[in-house]
Amino acid sequence: MPLSETYTCADAAGVAETYTCADSAGVAETYACAGAAGVVETYTCASAADGVAAPSVGPGLANAVGWYMRNTGITLMSGDVEQWADQSGQGNHLTFDGGSTTRPAVSGSGDIDLQEASDGLQATAALRDLLDTGLFTIGVRVYITSSNPRAAIFGTRNANDDSGGLLFSAGSATQVRGYVGDNQNDGANFTADEWATWIMAADGAGGMSIYLNGVEVDSDTGATPQCTTIPSVGKNLATNTDSGVLLVAEILVYSDEKTGGDLATLNTYLTGTAT
C-alpha cells in the first residue's frame, strides 16, 4: 500500500490533513482539500509507491528545497560546469546563466570551483520566490584561500545589491557576509585555507543568524525580506579583482528556519561532507 503522508492545506488555514501517495517520489498529483470545500490543489508526493520511503535528503531534515553535492549531478560543457542538479527532488537545478565569459570549474575532488568563474549557476524562479519570503535556511561547506577571493556563494552578482538578494558572499578579509533584504550581517573572519561550514537561518519576520562551524557569529532583526533577483552560485562580485580558490562541496536549502537540534544536525552533516 502507498504511504499516507501529511499535507498542509493552504486553503483551510493550514489544517493538516492526510494524503495517500499513489505514485512514485516527486510526482505532482492533485489533492481534493476537504477542509476548503473540495478545492483541488497540487501535492508533490515525497514518498515512493508501495510504501517504500524516498531517499533521505542530506541529514534527513524536513523541508529541503535544494541539495547540491560534490561529484553528483554535475553536467559539463567543454570541461566546465553547465548544470549542478538538485538532489532534493524539487527540481531546483543550478544552471549556467548564459553569460559570455567563464563557467565555474570542477576540482579534482569534484567540488565546484567558483573563483575562476565570472558567470554563475543560476537558481530557479521558484527558489527565488521562496527566498523572497525571508523564511529559509542555507547551509554550505566551503574552502576559501587566504588570497581573499570574492564571489557570491549564493546570491546576486553585485556586492552592494543587498536589496536584490545577496544571501551569501565571500568578502574580503576571509569573511562571509549574509543578507536578508536591507540588512547585512558581516559574519566573522575565519581561518583560511581550510574547510568551513556556514549556515544562514532566517525566521520570516526579519530576523536572521549566521553560524560558523556551528557557532552563531552574527545576528540581526528588523530586515525587510526581499529577494527580487534570481540568485546564482558563483557570480563574481562587481568589485572583484582578487584571485584564489573558493570551493563548494555541498549546499542545502530549506524552506524553514533551522534552530536547536536541527541546526546542530545540519552543521554536523555538512562538516562531514568535506575535510
207-216 pLDDT, tens digit each? 888 888 999 8
Say which residue, 160 or 20, is predicted with more confidence: 20
Q: What is the reported pLDDT for 75?
A: 94
Over residues 97-134, the pLDDT tens digits come to 776 567 788 888 899 887 655 667 888 989 888 887 88
What are the angstrom distances between the C-alpha of 161 and each of 104, 134, 148, 187, 229? 22, 16, 20, 17, 9
User: What are the structural domain ranges in the chain?
Assistant: 4-51, 64-271
| Residue type at 119 in one-letter notation | D
Query: pLDDT for 156-191, tens place per residue?
Result: 644 444 444 555 666 555 666 666 555 666 666 677
d(Cα 185, Cα 62) in Å, to the nearest integer? 26
**Is residue 90 within 8 Å of 65, Cβ to Cβ?**
yes
- Amino acid letter at 93? H
133 and 144 in contact (C-beta within 8 Å)?
no
Please give the angle made by the CA atoms of 129, 133 and 136, to the nearest 5 degrees: 95
Count of H-run helices and E-run strands, the chain: 2, 22
pTM: 0.76
Longest CA–CA span in the chain (Å) reads: 60
For 233-252, write each residue's pLDDT tens digit: 876 654 545 556 778 999 99
CATH of domain 64-271: 2.60.120.200
